């Protein structure tokens, strides 16, 4: 009778190696329940090896966009070195993950990792790629848009920054051109809001207090400082709200004017700056290259 791995043993092996559930089950079955042999099998298959990289900092990578019909995904995929980030195979990983997001609509990264794909689950797919590439690979975040209008995207500097827009109306040539200009606007100005209405009362009051104190620090009486705040709040909106911004190609018009000229509007937008907020490690370039070459020989 063929050996059937017990659930508790599968979980024990998973905790020990960090490998996926199905990988652990198969290893235990092949090892006929011998835990140590199963660990060795996972190591031999390059799966346990992948998990040894879990503590490394994955602060390089790319932002990628994938659009399929009226559904689009902006995703950030991280790795350890710029060397790997520029590898076309790495970009393919981001695309494959985005395709799963389009199809399955997972709530978050954790849910995405459990989604099925051709390689088993997305988590198992990543582990198989880690074993080949030799670096930690991690999906950091993603956004999925579905639209009744059309989607537009822009990827800057090979994945250092990415923008995705959900536009309303028909995807006419004129509307598409306007949408493209807006993606460049977002990439350049990095607005925090679409409209003034999105700025919370709490944020507005905090900003007013800061601006008032700035004016008073400049020697203005409190009454005058309060009047100056209104003018400076207008500038705050113009800097931080996309529709209030001056168009970067023609500052005589606002982004809202640009959209009207294209007979379109923005429902929402998102942008990612690759690695924003992540700690980066410094490593000698020659040493990095040597590591990658050695990894490819394995």
Contacting residues for 94 by C-beta, under 8 A, at least 6 apart: 62, 64, 66, 75, 77
Q: Which residue has the higher pLDDT, 276 or 251?
A: 251
Proportion of the chain above pLDDT 90, given as a percent: 64
- Of the CA atoms within 13 Å of residue 67, those in its CB half-sphere come to 15
Q: Which residue has the higher pLDDT, 291 or 251?
A: 251
For 7-51, which CATH class?
mainly alpha
Q: 139 has which bridge partners?
A: 77
Q: Nearest CA to 235 among 245, 243, 225?
A: 245
The boundaries of every CATH 1.10.8.10 domain in the chain are 7-51
Residues 135-178 have pLDDT tens digits of 889 999 999 999 999 999 999 989 999 999 999 999 999 999 99
Given pLDDT bands bounded at 50, 70 and 90, which one contains residue 93? very high
Task: Report whether 154 contacts 231 (CB < 8 A).
Answer: no
How far apart are alpha carbons 36 and 53 in whole angstroms? 20
Residues 255-274 have pLDDT tens digits of 999 999 999 999 999 999 99
Could you tell me the sign of the dihedral formed by the alpha carbons of 127, 128, 132, 137, in that order? Answer: negative
How distant is the alpha carbon of residue 205 from its chain centre? 31
**In degrees to the nearest 10, what's the CA dihedral of 91, 96, 102, 108?**
-80
pLDDT at 253 over 70: yes
- Predicted confidence at residue 68, as pLDDT, reads 98
Helical H runs in the chain? 7-17, 21-30, 35-44, 47-51, 82-85, 88-104, 109-114, 122-133, 173-189, 201-217, 222-240, 255-261, 285-297
The boundaries of every CATH 3.30.479.20 domain in the chain are 60-192+269-297
Q: 60-192+269-297 has which fold?
A: Tetrahydropterin Synthase; Chain A (3.30.479)
Residue the block writes with tokens 């140590």: 36
Neighbours of 250 (CB within 10 A): 11
Task: Report whether 39 contacts 16 (CB < 8 A).
Answer: yes
Residue the block writes with tokens 């995904």: 73
How far apart are alpha carbons 80 and 133 in whole angstroms? 11
pLDDT at 48 over 70: no
Q: What is the DSSP secondary structure assignment for residue 134, as one 8-state letter? A: -
Q: Nearest CA to 162 among 72, 57, 258, 264?
A: 72
Rounded to the nearest integer, the mean pLDDT of the chain is 88
């Amino acid at each position: 009778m063929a050996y059937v791995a017990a659930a508790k043993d599968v979980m024990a092996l998973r905790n020990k190696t960090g490998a996926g559930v199905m990988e652990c089950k198969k290893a235990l079955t092949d090892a006929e329940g011998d835990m140590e042999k199963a660990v060795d099998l996972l190591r031999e298959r390059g799966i346990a090896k992948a998990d040894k990289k879990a503590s490394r900092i994955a602060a390089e990578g790319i932002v990628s966009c994938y659009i399929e019909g009226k559904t689009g995904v902006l995703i950030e995929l991280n790795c350890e070195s710029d060397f790997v980030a520029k590898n076309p195979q790495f970009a393919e990983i981001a695309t494959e993950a985005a395709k799963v997001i389009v199809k399955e609509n997972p709530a978050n990264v954790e849910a995405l990792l459990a989604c099925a794909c051709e390689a088993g689950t997305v988590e198992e797919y990543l582990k198989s790629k880690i074993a080949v590439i030799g670096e930690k690979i991690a999906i950091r975040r993603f956004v999925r848009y579905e639209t009744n209008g059309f989607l537009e995207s822009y990827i800057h500097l090979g994945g250092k920054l990415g923008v995705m827009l959900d536009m309303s109306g028909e995807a006419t040539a004129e509307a598409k051109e306007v949408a493209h200009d807006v993606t460049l606007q977002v990439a350049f100005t990095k607005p925090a809001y679409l409209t003034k209405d999105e700025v919370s009362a709490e944020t507005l009051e905090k900003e007013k207090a800061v601006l008032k104190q700035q004016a008073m620090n400049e020697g203005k009486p409190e009454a005058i400082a309060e009047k100056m705040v209104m003018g400076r709040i207008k500038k705050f909106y113009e800097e931080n709200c996309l529709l209030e911004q001056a168009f970067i190609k023609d500052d005589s018009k606002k982004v809202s004017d640009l959209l009207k000229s294209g007979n379109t509007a923005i429902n929402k937008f998102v942008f990612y700056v690759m690695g924003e907020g992540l700690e980066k490690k410094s490593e000698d370039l020659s040493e990095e290259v040597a590591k990658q070459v050695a990894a490819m020989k394995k």
